Chain A
Amino acid sequence: MGGAPDRAGRGTLVHLKDESLRRLHASEKAVERSFHEARLTASLAVGLLLVGFLLVAQMRGTATFSQSLERQSDQNLAIIIQQTAAENNALRNEVVRLQVRLLEAGQATEDRTQLLNEAARELNSVSVVAGLEAAAGPGVTVVLSDPERVLLPQDFVRIVHELRAGGAEALAVNGVRVSATSGFSGGDGRIVLEGSEFSRRFEVDALGEPGNLAQALELPGGLKSTLATFPGVEVEIVKKDQLRVPAAKRIGFVHGTPVEDGQ
């Protein structure tokens, strides 16, 4: 092995080593620079992000504030006050108008209530007269005993008639209501009213002014004296302060139809 080539070889080696060291150094620097660049960009980016966010928040806050009253000019404020006052007036008028309407409506309701009450009262009395409802009040009880079974249905028709003439408002025979459509039938001492059969002893309840009712039967030559002439028949009239008459069976209206006035 010669010295010269040896030296030359070593020179190449040194050169290569320097070269690789230089490259390593350069790449290290490059890494460092890119790292530095990344940090730079990141911090700037965060700063800009904050700026954007704050800008929007600030703009929104300013927009809200400029609409608030304290930022308005005097002229604007005067206009606003005028408008508000006008609105106020209009609303006050509206309140008065509505109050008047409320009063009127209240009046109308009162009128209607009164009308309804009257109608209800009328319906009540009509119901009592028609026998649709039980009724109570002063009246008389006519007690008839007929041991010989001589009374006829027409005798009861007469009794009912006389009592009605005396002002009876509601009638019942042995607890059966005599209504507008009731009729007496039967024979041979049996009296049939609304499907119920009675004989021998009868109690006729009549609501009305007790004195008038009693008088209607006790007139001289009246029904009481006539009935008393029948064999075995006894008639007793008892005035009562409180009497109760039951409701009639429901009336079925089948063949007729109500006709209005003028038709």
Chain B
Amino acid sequence: MLALVLALALGVTLGLLTNVSVPAAWLTYLGVAVLAAIDACLGGIKASLEQTFDDKVFVSGFLTNTLMAAFIVFVGDRIGVRELYLAAVVAFGLRVFENLGTVRRLLFSRWGWE
């Protein structure tokens, strides 16, 4: 668990150090992709707590979700339904909270707080 927190901190530090800034045109795409990535990570943590974690599933899910999220926004832009990105946001947002709740409960049971 500590390694995961450290990895997140390292990513933030890297981002701050390399001074990357996303071009305005990519903002929506990357925003939804980030949401998908967060969801994938929470899902992975949940699976590892449930002892059902499979790294192949995690990696493929991570990549597919982020790419698909960005792609949905792209398609929405192209076909004139700019609000299509809302679908991705809602879907991933719901899943993030769902996963978060499960992880919380699993952690509680693991630490014996129930």
Which B residues form the contact surface with A (CB < 8 A)?
Answer: 3-4, 6-16, 19-24, 26-27, 30-31, 33-34, 37-38, 40-41, 44-45, 48, 53, 55, 58-59, 62
Contacts and interface: CB of A to CB of B under 8 A. Distances in A.
A51 B20 CA distance: 14
B41 A48 contact: yes
A48 B40 CA distance: 9
B4 A58 contact: no
Nearest to B34: A54
B interface: dominant SS: helix
A61 B28 CA distance: 10
A58 B40 CA distance: 18
A62 B27 contact: yes
B44 A45 contact: no
Contact of A44 (B20, B34, B44): B44
Interface string A17-44: 0000000000000000000000111111
Contacts of A47: 37, 40-41, 44, 58, 62
A14 interface: no
B44 to A, nearest CB: 5
Contact of B11 (A41, A49, A62, A68): A49
A65 B59 CA distance: 31
Given A43-B59, A45-B7, 12 more contacts: A39-B55, A40-B48, A40-B55, A44-B4, A47-B58, A49-B14, A50-B37, A56-B20, A60-B20, A61-B30, A62-B31, A64-B24
Given A49-B11, A61-B22, A44 B31 contact: no
A56 B34 CA distance: 10
18 contacts: A40-B58, A43-B44, A43-B58, A44-B7, A44-B41, A49-B10, A49-B11, A51-B8, A51-B34, A52-B11, A52-B15, A54-B11, A54-B15, A56-B11, A56-B12, A61-B21, A61-B22, A62-B27
Contacts of B3: 41, 45
Name which of A45, A56, A64 has the most chain B CB atoms within 10 A of its CB: A56
Nearest to B37: A51
A49 B59 CA distance: 13
Interface string A101-132: 00000000000000000000000000000000
A61 B34 CA distance: 13
A58 B70 CA distance: 14
B24 A41 contact: no
A55 B15 contact: yes
A256 to B, nearest CB: 79
A253 interface: no
Contacts of A45: 3-4, 6-7
Given A43-B59, A58-B27, A68-B24, A53 B11 contact: yes
A42 B41 CA distance: 12
Contacts of A78: none
